[in-house]
Structure 1
Amino acid sequence: MLSAAQTSAPVSQGSAARIGQLAATVSTDAAKDKTTAQPIGIRTDGFIYRQLRVSDGRKDFDGRGAIAYSGLRNDSYRIGDIVTVGSDGAQFTITGFTDGAKLSVTPVIYVPLSAWSHLKLGSGLDESAAPEAAGAPSDGHATAASAPAASAVMFGEAAGSTAPDGTEQLPIGDFIQKLPGYRAQDLTSQFMLVFLFIIMLATIAVFLYILTMQTIPNFAVLKMQGILTRYLILNTIAQACSSRSSARP
């Protein structure tokens, strides 16, 4: 979690935007089951909101609006549906859908950053609060400078300043690798591919062995007739591959 003091300097440059990330379950009256999603809080004055493109509906956060990943339509989510997020029962109205909005394999629902603060902490800085308000009281407990303001700061272009104390700047590739569960999932997928390749090689080797042992007398006759060894090898491999393909269900 980053405070307003940590995020004010990068955001003031104009090429950065605060974002808030939260893992939660979402549901609607029409959807049969709850769906795991990633509510992402953004500000309407940031470059992320400006560059956001909707494939259906409209881009609007007014009246607790939210913009959802278009793939959620397969789970009976529709424009105008009231979405309940998390165990606190916070509700948003889907105003539009956007393509490609996934964090790892989880669908994303864009909500106002102020709404994300309430989802994450139960309270937080208002979306309209300016970074210059640092030092002003917030709910009588903490200053606006020290209150959590975002999960991270995203840069629309190469960052030109050093990271504030307690933070780290990461290229997009390194950031993706450090997403929770991403590296483990990627390693699992690679292991499965390698293991399937080994199984395929072992299967072909078994068919080659069986075909070779069964056709040794035939090979002897063919060799006596002058058939090239290269032809016999290629023919055996072709038979092994075709036998493996025909054995599939």
Structure 2
Amino acid sequence: MFLAWKEIKHSKTRFSLIIGVMVLVSYLVFFLVGLAYGLAQDNRTSIDKWDADGIILTDESNTNINMSMMPKGAINDVNANDAAVIGIAPNVVRQKGTAGDDAKINTTFFGIEPDQFLMPEIIEGKAFENDDEVVADISLKEEEGIVIGDTLQLAGSDKEVKVVGFTEDAKFSVAPVLYTSVSSYQDVRFEQIDESEEGRISAIVVRGSDDTIAGVETGNEDLKIYPISDYINEIPGYTAQVLTFGLMIGFLVVIAAVVIGIFIYVLTMQKSSMFGVMKAQGISSGYIAKSVVIQTFLLAAIGVGIGLLLTGATAMVLPAAVPYQTNLNFLAIIAALLIIMAMVGGAFSVRAVVKIDPLKAIG
């Protein structure tokens, strides 16, 4: 430890370059992890808020909730610990009195019953009590300037809804969610509906026993129940997005290990004469090799630590529109992997240390 740190302090410029490489690589990896996690969460945060075990869709919908349609009364045939109806309708809205493409906002309407468990927690304002009132995701306020009391006009119709409250972490397929009554959802989705009909919904969300869907029955062969985790994985683009970023991050970790390994190996070979003198003085190869490994650890730890600090600082100044979220568990795992892989790469230079012949190295 003493030898490793002493050499780093003596050759500041040389080792600063190595630390700089580690900082840049780790910063890039950490930032990509935050973007990947943020994008993934924006696809599913509203579903996670359900705290549900399963979802019932029509068998013909192929797990696509936008293609699922069933009578509202189907919930009466469902046997579960708790069940709630939901209607989902993507739509484009704009604040009343505004015009132009910049004023258009992609949203998703969730038609729910206020007395069922899908009602979100209100962080500002109040829950909807009447038709044509909505509780919106807080991102509409942070990114679009929508405030409580504002009226939103729906694209392609004369329908208007009023924002009465805000909730957080409510996005579906990256679009902010507007919670409203099932009756208002009918108007958004179908525009006109026969008053004699009981209404149509998209799905039934259920809670089973012991956090599973065991024992949940639909009572209708045209309906199929899916575990909530399976449904999330079937959200269009979600799995492909996660796999793409996962492979990208994995390759970056490997590249970081190779880069730092090459740097340490080159440095080790440049110091072969010095190691030869040390061996001639009776210092064992094991001690020198241990010093090289410790030195690699110090360089990697300092570089990764600075990368973490830069990532945290960047997250604090990013605009709300950037889908970035910090997951401390992911960052800790990636940081540990970067340090371990760097040490594995640096360990290859240990073999070169052991093979150094003192007489040849001294010349």
Using the size of structure 1 for normalisation, the TM-score is 0.77
28-37 vs 55-64, greater mean Cα deviation: 28-37
Kindly indicate whether residue 100 of structure 2 is the aligned counterpart of residue 34 of structure 1.
no
- Matches of 1:125 and 1:200 in 2, distance apart? 63
Tell me the residue number matched to 2:118: 48
TM superposition shift of 1:84: 2.7
1:174 aligns with 2:174: no
- Higher mean C-alpha deviation, range 234-243 or range 206-215: 234-243
**Gapped runs of 5+ residues in structure 1?**
127-137, 139-143
Deviation (angstroms), 1:154: 0.7
2:172 corresponds to which residue? 103
CA distance in 1, matches of 2:160, 2:260: 57
- Aligned residues, how many? 229
The one-letter amino acid paired with 1:245 is G
**Are residue 210 (structure 1) and residue 210 (structure 2) matched?**
no
* CA distance in 2 between partners of 1:235 and 1:242 (Å): 12
Q: How has the CA–CA distance of structure 1 residues 43 and 71 changed in structure 2, closer, same or farther, with 3 Å as cutoff? A: same
* Change beyond 3 A, Cα 1:7–1:112: same
| Corresponding residue number in structure 2 for 1:60 | 128
Task: Tell me if structure 2 keeps the 8 A contact 1:47–1:156.
Answer: no
Amino acid at match of 2:245: S
Any idea what SS the aligned residue of 2:226 has? coil
Structure with more strand by fraction: 1
Runs of 4+ in 1 over 6 A off after TM superposition: 246-249
RMSD: 3.2
Higher helix share: 2
Q: Equivalents in 2 of 1:239, 1:24: separation in Å?
A: 57
Identity rate, percent: 27
The question of 1:190 aligning with 2:246 is answered: yes
What SS class does the counterpart of residue 267 from structure 2 fall into? helix
Structure 2: any 5+ residue segments left out of the alignment?
1-67, 210-214, 311-363
TM superposition shift of 1:3:
2.2
Q: Secondary structure at the match of 1:116?
A: helix
TM-score scaled by structure 2? 0.55
Q: Secondary structure at the match of 2:86?
A: strand
Structure 1 residue 19 corresponds to structure 2 residue 86: yes
Q: Where do residues 65-80 of structure 1 align in structure 2 (5 Å cutoff)?
A: 65-75=133-143, 76-80=145-149
Paired residue secondary structure (1:22): strand
CA distance in 2, matches of 1:16, 1:237: 58
CA contact (8 A) 1:30 1:77 kept: no
| Counterpart-to-counterpart distance in 1, 2:77 and 2:123 | 31
Secondary structure at the counterpart of residue 84 of structure 2: strand
**Residues 78-227 of structure 1 mapped to structure 2, 5 A cutoff:** 78-88=147-157, 90-124=159-193, 144=197, 149-158=200-209, 160-162=216-218, 164-227=220-283
